[in-house]
Structure 1
């Protein structure tokens, strides 16, 4: 498909498609981007590109929501069975039991990104590939999770400048 035509469709539909996808999944920007990539791969333009994009975004968003649900369920189960995350003998920082409880209370995706980045040493690019999202989405999840931890613990949280 012609890149200029895709650009015009992007200008016309991106905001509405993102809003539409946001109702169905947690990574609407990724879903919309994937839909436009698929549109670009088509040999010929669909009869109604706008309707085609909405259908593809809907299907991708539903798939993403199902995958996220599975991932949350798996991660919740794994987190419940895992050993503690904090060293109770550490001389400074938040109470380990409170910190662990606050971390466990985060949505699975945020917790997953924080653990992978801080304890696993993964970059946001590596985390994005691991969770099936963009590095930007991984970074947003990390930031949102840290902010929630700061609010719950009333303390600063460690960060790692690796991207």
Structure 2
């Protein structure tokens, strides 16, 4: 196959092949690209390169969709087996699942400070050393994280000066 013929096939059919693959998979461009790579390696060239491309794209898109479903099942199963952040108690002021979800929405720098301080018992000086920032920066991140958590969990703070 000459580079000119391959380029002409790409120009003429890549968009239609991408639309065709989109019916089955989430990454149709990857499937189409792989089909053109396979076509360029074919010796001898298929009698009907366009028909061949559509067949290869359909098969590749179906395979990609199956792989996506397998990965989704695996990720869902792995997430279900992940230990909970909080143990459920009957008299809890907030729901542990909601709190865990709110924690996961924090920036990693803020979440790190909250977990290290509240559950790890580290001082802001220790957290600053751990994170490579000053203790005052660690404290500011902590205050910002608590404010964000209160807002997301809709929990009022009666006395903001007692946040540490």
Specify the alignment match of 2:28 in structure 1: 28
- Once the two structures are TM-superposed, the CA of residue 92 in structure 1 deviates from its matched residue by 2.7
- In the TM superposition, residue 80 of structure 1 has moved relative to its aligned partner by 2.1
Tell me which residue corresponds to 1:131: none
Out of 139, 144, 152, the position equivalent to 1:92 is 144
Flag structure 1 segments of 5+ consecutive residues without an equivalent.
Answer: 100-163
2-side partners of 1:52 and 1:95: how far apart?
Answer: 55
Structure with larger RCO (C-alpha < 8 A, sep 6+)? 1
TM-score by length of structure 2 reads 0.54
Shift of residue 44 of structure 1? 1.7
Structure-1 residue corresponding to 2:19: 19
Aligned to 1:9: 9
Q: Counterpart in 2 of 1:112?
A: none
Separation in 2, partners of 1:23, 1:36 = 19
Cα distance in 1 for residues equivalent to 2:143 and 2:67: 40
Partner-residue secondary structure (3-state), 1:5 = helix
1:123-161 deviations in whole A, cap 9, x for unaligned?
xxxxxxxxxxxxxxxxxxxxxxxxxxxxxxxxxxxxxxx
Matches within 5 A, 1:9-88: 9-82=9-82, 85=104, 87=111
Say how many residue pairs are matched.
99
Give the drift of 1:91: 3.7
- The RMSD of aligned alpha carbons is 2.6
Structure 2 counterpart SS, 1:92 = helix
Report the structure number with the largest CA radius of gyration.
2
Q: How does 1:113-128 map to 2 (within 5 A)?
A: none
Moved over 3 A (4+): 83-88, 93-96
